[in-house]
Structure 1
């Protein structure tokens, strides 16, 4: 009788061993999607703050600078925590665009927000593609 129980148990263990690598891949993809989702939410909020602060820059120029610095800090942190090279590169590209907006603001020029939006859109594509 013990032999009849042992065989199904061994088959179940063998089945689990065969399934585990597949679930690890699924978890990896799910973790990337979750990380990207969290990144997108954080970055979208930061970009909205930059846009709103710049729109109101005549009223509070310091707010525009503070919101850009917050976005830079968040991008730095997200870049350090990203384990996916494509996501990390998209974050680096977005950081470059943030620096360009900061330079324009520092030079009292009207920043071009289109490249910033394009870089944010690219991050979304990397996360979903």
Structure 2
């Protein structure tokens, strides 16, 4: 009788061993999506702050600089923590666009914020793709 109990138990253990790696992959992918999604939300919020600050730059020019610096700081953090090459590439492009906005602001020019928004869209695509 012990052998009849041991066999189903052994099959159950074998089934768990087969399923566990699949569930770990699924959890890992889900965690990546959650982490990436929260990053994209944070970066999108930063870009909205930059846009709003530049729209009101005539009232508070320091706010535009602070908003841009916050975006750049968050991008640096995301870039350091990203292990996904597509996300890292999107972050690098976004950093380049943030630098372009900074350069225009340093020259007292009105920055073109559209490429910054487009680069943020690419980050979102990298996170969901």
Query: TM-score w.r.t. structure 1 length?
Result: 0.95
2:2 corresponds in structure 1 to: 2
Displacement of 1:90: 0.7
**Structure 2 CA distance for aligned equivalents of residues 84 and 28 of structure 1:** 13
Matches within 5 A, 1:24-43: 24-43=24-43
The alpha-carbon deviation at position 21 of structure 1 amounts to: 2.0
Q: CA deviation at 1:109?
A: 0.6
3-state SS of the aligned residue for 1:16? helix
* Alignment correspondent of 1:69: 69
Q: Map 1:51-62; keep pairs closer than 5 Å.
A: 51-62=51-62
Structure 1: runs of 5+ lacking an equivalent: none
The Cα shift of 1:40 comes to: 1.1
Question: How many residues of Structure 1 are paired with residues of Structure 2 in the alignment?
Answer: 129
RMSD: 1.0
